[in-house]
Structure 1
């Protein structure tokens, strides 16, 4: 539709130099595409459950006669006669997806007052295939319901569309897996300590959850919104349709071709495929310097892609949508990511709206930026954070303001840690749980090292510290060398083994353990002095005593 719109207006509205350059760039740049992605399959036999007030659902039931079966679950009774296959319950729970909806409730009139699987009671199967929810507030609370669940409410227009659509929802359906998950990069949990859960909070479809030690993604519930990948600071979750690298390479080729064709002052406009018709209607109201880029969903790219576009020559990046219709979770995740991006820009003296959310309704009043942020376009490579920091360094070098450090919002995945070194025993619990090795040991002596650029502010070190001396500090150190250097957080003199002389532990830890355990019954006599030995000498000393005095094992 986009190319046809451009071609339709190319002879008049889009006939200027920039309009022609834009059309040449879009026509001449290989479109974003993927190899056939992994898929999941749904199987629907057409067994429908309608939930709502009795009068409402009994009236609607006859409209679905083409389906295999129709079961009615009334949440409010009426004086009318009981319809066929009608059940009553005010306590209803629904989970699942197309072809596999499990509905549990307390069925009034049943022999027992226990929660039952309604599908087994009504149709002799484990689940329903389709659900039409006509309750006022909806039984399922997720903002983006699973495929096969239709939240109709009292809207007659919605019901009419569902009546027309449902007969086609019989058979087997394939849906792509929109994500890739690499548990090795995940900062959610380590050694029983919980950390980052940004992806779980960012999913409006309820597809992500924690099993206590790892993130799980239900591909049947995932609707491909992309906010989980945007929120993930480590690239443990990446979007796959297409992946960010392909998106950024496409943007680079597009902007390069536009400029080679003589185009000037480009503005990049990202939009989701669902808004393609709106964009086509809006494009005539925007300057011909605005270059649209279609995405599967608007939130599938984040701060690294936005800043990469500025490095590739875009004067501004617009995230275009009908802002009134953004689900609350998507709006929140986008806003949080935008706040971080705009904080970076503002701190350097640039206009914050060089990256901004753009409402299609404001097209006629849009004013583009004439000047770029960077004098020379440059292609960026690397991982997500590497690309972002590379562009930030370029912007810093060209900035009018050069702050040393900048504060960021509390939920930002950038920053450092603070350690009250006077109380730190160098037990290395923080090192054991750090998912990125931002915190690590010195190696040859008792010491704790830190690399700020690698810290994603997951908070696991803070929770794992038994002395409670570590705290998160969101922010950004603009000096590249300082941000990337290995910094000593705390180090101290090593305790040397009283037997062999080998350094084996922080002196403060040995002292603390000795003071705490000297009154304990298990650490009397020779036992207490073994705390000042290395692990090898400690074992040798124990067995030496057993050898010299075997009966000591019997004396407790």
Structure 2
């Protein structure tokens, strides 16, 4: 559909001809055989709602294996039907083929909740749920496959009568994400940190078990907001990954310009909006190049700025803004606010990256000039590497040369501050830092910090026993300073009184000696061991045990 529209518009001018050549001649890389998850459905349907409503619907789904009715309100006039249960307290969780419905069924002896599928079918779960309640039993913005909230207007019953009989069998769905827990900033050593991905999921597929992020691939709908919000790339989108998307944009713009096209504007859109894009193309300038994504929110600031660095004059994020679910809208708004803050700090127009509503197509005016000459080599590395590479180029070309800028509070950029007079260099902060932004000097007691690697997860602040570390959100525009390993705090090393080896910060040994000198276990000669290295301390303990066995009771 899009290709035929571009072909029809190709004779409009040279830009339209170049656009067609670029779009049709650039191969998009993707996973040929992506990982999948499978759903098993036997066609056991549960309908929830008012008694009169659901009993009238039961016969329309007779083609399914079974139909169970759960009335949340009784009706004195409704006819009696088989497999009808009553309950006002209902909870539903699961997905196609595996819906667990817990409720207290009216008329039973106990007040405890039961699994309704066990009572009604002798099975552990229902396969499909049709929710006719006005508020909806499940409150996620994007419901799981197999759950239809017709009562809230999210599905049409007449359409479901045709569709649901086909929801029987085995169905495969792509696994949209990759997860690398080794670089996750959510939690470390019992210290909690970043929750961006959990907050960004409109399908309720991401949860925290207190120690790590867990993703339910059966609930995941591939929206991609988790990967966009993740500051460390611990979660990355896989259909395709952003790296392939950025390489595609690079080759697309390269081909467009090679074919004689000028003044390109990149228009990102989700596949579901293809018809809206087709309708808008006849109105938009022929310099606007559409780029399809699985979902609009699967890419973020790194991809948008890479597009500007590769020669795009503007990046449009096209959607029907009135229909964006609240969570997706918030994640996009957060990313756009960061992007536009970067642009305005450099003296550029904020709407070089912006949301684009299809309804405004007739009023759109393209930018005549690029921000910088097109980068001839595509960026490599992590998504942060690519973002910083693009920002460095934009900074070099900008007339305004900021030094440090404030950013929105949720931006994963900034530094840390340390009250060094109270820091004992215990390295608790280093042990929890997910990116090694904070790390030890190594050959002497000291703490180093690389600002570019800090994602502002806050774990160092929470792990510090002296409470001397605090977050400082913002952006350092000096690339050399931002990437330099700076000394946060260092001090003289305490040397072992026995062998002379440096083994700890002098202030820590002093602090421990002062705090423990009154302790019963550190009386007499025992207090000396605090000034020894770990090896000499052990040898001293065993030497004393050998000469005075009763001293073991005092160790």
TM-score above 0.5: yes
Identify which of 288, 296, 302 aligns with 1:290.
Answer: 288
Measure how far apart 1:539 and its partner are: 1.1
Following the alignment from structure 1 to structure 2, what is the Cα–Cα distance between the partners of residues 162 and 448? 62
Counterpart secondary structure, 1:500: coil
- Where in structure 1 do 4 or more consecutive aligned residues deviate above 3 Å? 154-157
Q: How does 1:500-511 map to 2 (within 5 A)?
A: 500-511=499-510
The equivalent residue for 2:39 is 42
The equivalent residue for 1:58 is 55
The equivalent residue for 2:5 is 5
The equivalent residue for 2:19 is 22
Q: How does 1:478-497 map to 2 (within 5 A)?
A: 478-497=477-496
Identify which of 167, 183, 186 aligns with 2:184.
Answer: 186
Counterpart secondary structure, 1:413: coil
Measure how far apart 1:176 and its partner are: 0.5
Choose 151-160 or 269-278, whichever is displaced more: 151-160
* Structure 1 residues 179-208: Cα deviation after superposition (integer angstroms, max 9, x where no partner): 111111211111111111111111100111
The equivalent residue for 2:70 is 73
Counterpart secondary structure, 2:156: helix
Counterpart secondary structure, 2:474: strand
The equivalent residue for 1:512 is 511
Asked if 1 retains the 8 angstrom alpha-carbon contact of 2:43 and 2:167, the reply is yes
The equivalent residue for 1:385 is 384
* Structure 1 residues 219-248: Cα deviation after superposition (integer angstroms, max 9, x where no partner): 100000000110111111111111111111
Counterpart secondary structure, 1:74: strand
Following the alignment from structure 1 to structure 2, what is the Cα–Cα distance between the partners of residues 393 and 102? 52
Q: How does 1:301-450 map to 2 (within 5 A)?
A: 301-378=299-376, 379-450=378-449
Following the alignment from structure 1 to structure 2, what is the Cα–Cα distance between the partners of residues 108 and 288? 64
Following the alignment from structure 2 to structure 1, what is the Cα–Cα distance between the partners of residues 247 and 230? 21
Measure how far apart 1:554 and its partner are: 4.8
Q: How does 1:453-464 map to 2 (within 5 A)?
A: 453-464=452-463
The equivalent residue for 1:111 is 109
Following the alignment from structure 2 to structure 1, what is the Cα–Cα distance between the partners of residues 289 and 425? 54
Measure how far apart 1:157 and its partner are: 7.0
Following the alignment from structure 2 to structure 1, what is the Cα–Cα distance between the partners of residues 411 and 153? 40
Choose 379-388 or 261-270, whichever is displaced more: 379-388
Choose 459-468 or 79-88, whichever is displaced more: 79-88
* Structure 1 residues 285-335: Cα deviation after superposition (integer angstroms, max 9, x where no partner): 111110000000001111111011011100000000000000000000011
Task: Specify whether residues 54 and 156 from structure 1 end up closer, same or farther in structure 2 by C-alpha distance, changes over 3 A only.
Answer: farther
Following the alignment from structure 2 to structure 1, what is the Cα–Cα distance between the partners of residues 120 and 212? 37
Q: Say what the alpha-carbon RMSD is for the aligned residues.
A: 1.3
1:212 matches 2:177: no
Measure how far apart 1:542 and its partner are: 1.0
Measure how far apart 1:33 and its partner are: 3.5
Measure how far apart 1:155 and its partner are: 4.4
The equivalent residue for 1:261 is 259
Stretches of structure 1 that go unaligned for 5 or more consecutive residues are none
Following the alignment from structure 2 to structure 1, what is the Cα–Cα distance between the partners of residues 373 and 478? 21
Measure how far apart 1:376 and its partner are: 3.4
Counterpart secondary structure, 1:223: coil
* Structure 1 residues 2-50: Cα deviation after superposition (integer angstroms, max 9, x where no partner): 0011123334xxx211111111111221244431101111111000000
Measure how far apart 1:171 and its partner are: 0.8
Stretches of structure 2 that go unaligned for 5 or more consecutive residues are none
Counterpart secondary structure, 1:109: coil
Choose 268-277 or 184-193, whichever is displaced more: 184-193
Following the alignment from structure 1 to structure 2, what is the Cα–Cα distance between the partners of residues 160 and 383? 48
* Structure 1 residues 338-389: Cα deviation after superposition (integer angstroms, max 9, x where no partner): 1111111110000011010110110000011000000233322221111100
Following the alignment from structure 1 to structure 2, what is the Cα–Cα distance between the partners of residues 249 and 329? 28
Measure how far apart 1:555 and its partner are: 6.3
Following the alignment from structure 1 to structure 2, what is the Cα–Cα distance between the partners of residues 437 and 380? 23
Choose 488-497 or 340-349, whichever is displaced more: 488-497
Following the alignment from structure 2 to structure 1, what is the Cα–Cα distance between the partners of residues 9 and 289? 15
Following the alignment from structure 1 to structure 2, what is the Cα–Cα distance between the partners of residues 53 and 523? 73
Measure how far apart 1:59 and its partner are: 1.1
Asked if 1 retains the 8 angstrom alpha-carbon contact of 2:406 and 2:473, the reply is yes
TM-score, normalization: structure 2? 0.98
Following the alignment from structure 1 to structure 2, what is the Cα–Cα distance between the partners of residues 226 and 551? 65
Measure how far apart 1:551 and its partner are: 2.6
Task: Specify whether residues 244 and 108 from structure 1 end up closer, same or farther in structure 2 by C-alpha distance, changes over 3 A only.
Answer: same
Following the alignment from structure 1 to structure 2, what is the Cα–Cα distance between the partners of residues 39 and 502? 56
Following the alignment from structure 2 to structure 1, what is the Cα–Cα distance between the partners of residues 233 and 10? 41
Equivalent pairs, count: 553
Asked if 1 retains the 8 angstrom alpha-carbon contact of 2:521 and 2:554, the reply is no
The equivalent residue for 1:242 is 240
The equivalent residue for 2:249 is 251
Counterpart secondary structure, 1:285: coil
Asked if 1 retains the 8 angstrom alpha-carbon contact of 2:30 and 2:241, the reply is no
Following the alignment from structure 1 to structure 2, what is the Cα–Cα distance between the partners of residues 534 and 217? 45
Measure how far apart 1:83 and its partner are: 2.2
Task: Specify whether residues 517 and 390 from structure 1 end up closer, same or farther in structure 2 by C-alpha distance, changes over 3 A only.
Answer: same
Asked if 1 retains the 8 angstrom alpha-carbon contact of 2:136 and 2:152, the reply is no
1:553 matches 2:548: no
Q: How does 1:521-532 map to 2 (within 5 A)?
A: 521-532=520-531
Following the alignment from structure 1 to structure 2, what is the Cα–Cα distance between the partners of residues 552 and 417? 46
